């Protein structure tokens, strides 16, 4: 086997190893990304609730104090 063929085999093994490592990292990061998305979505909904007019809050059965209490919660707290 010449040097070129050996180099080609090493490159193929390195690519396969890289693909396995990438898949492993992706499987680890998927739950973390999902949690981050939920935090961002929760913070966005809380800001929107705080921006709603009082008469709309009253219409949906929420007081301004309830809306402010929800708005003031940390983004990670459900």
| 43 contacts 75 by C-beta, under 8 angstroms | yes
State pLDDT tens for residues 5-64.
Answer: 787 888 888 878 878 888 887 787 778 888 888 999 999 999 999 899 999 999 999 999
pLDDT value of position 11: 80
More confident residue, 30 or 66: 66
pLDDT value of position 29: 78
| 78 contacts 42 by C-beta, under 8 angstroms | yes
What's the whole-model pTM score?
0.60
DSSP designation for 71: H
Domain range summary for the chain, segments of one domain joined by +: 3-71
User: How big is the chain by its Cα radius of gyration, in Å?
Assistant: 25
Across 63-72, average pLDDT: 92
* 68: pLDDT strictly greater than 90: yes
Q: What is the dihedral of CA 47, 50, 55, 61, to 10 degrees?
A: 90
């Amino acid at each position: 086997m010449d040097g070129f063929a050996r180099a080609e085999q090493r490159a193929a093994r390195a690519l396969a190893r890289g693909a396995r490592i990438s898949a492993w990292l992706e499987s680890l990061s998927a739950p973390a990304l999902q949690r981050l998305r939920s935090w961002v979505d929760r913070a966005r909904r809380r800001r929107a609730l705080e921006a709603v007019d009082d008469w709309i809050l009253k219409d949906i059965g929420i007081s301004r104090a309830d809306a402010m209490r929800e708005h003031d919660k940390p983004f990670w707290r459900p």
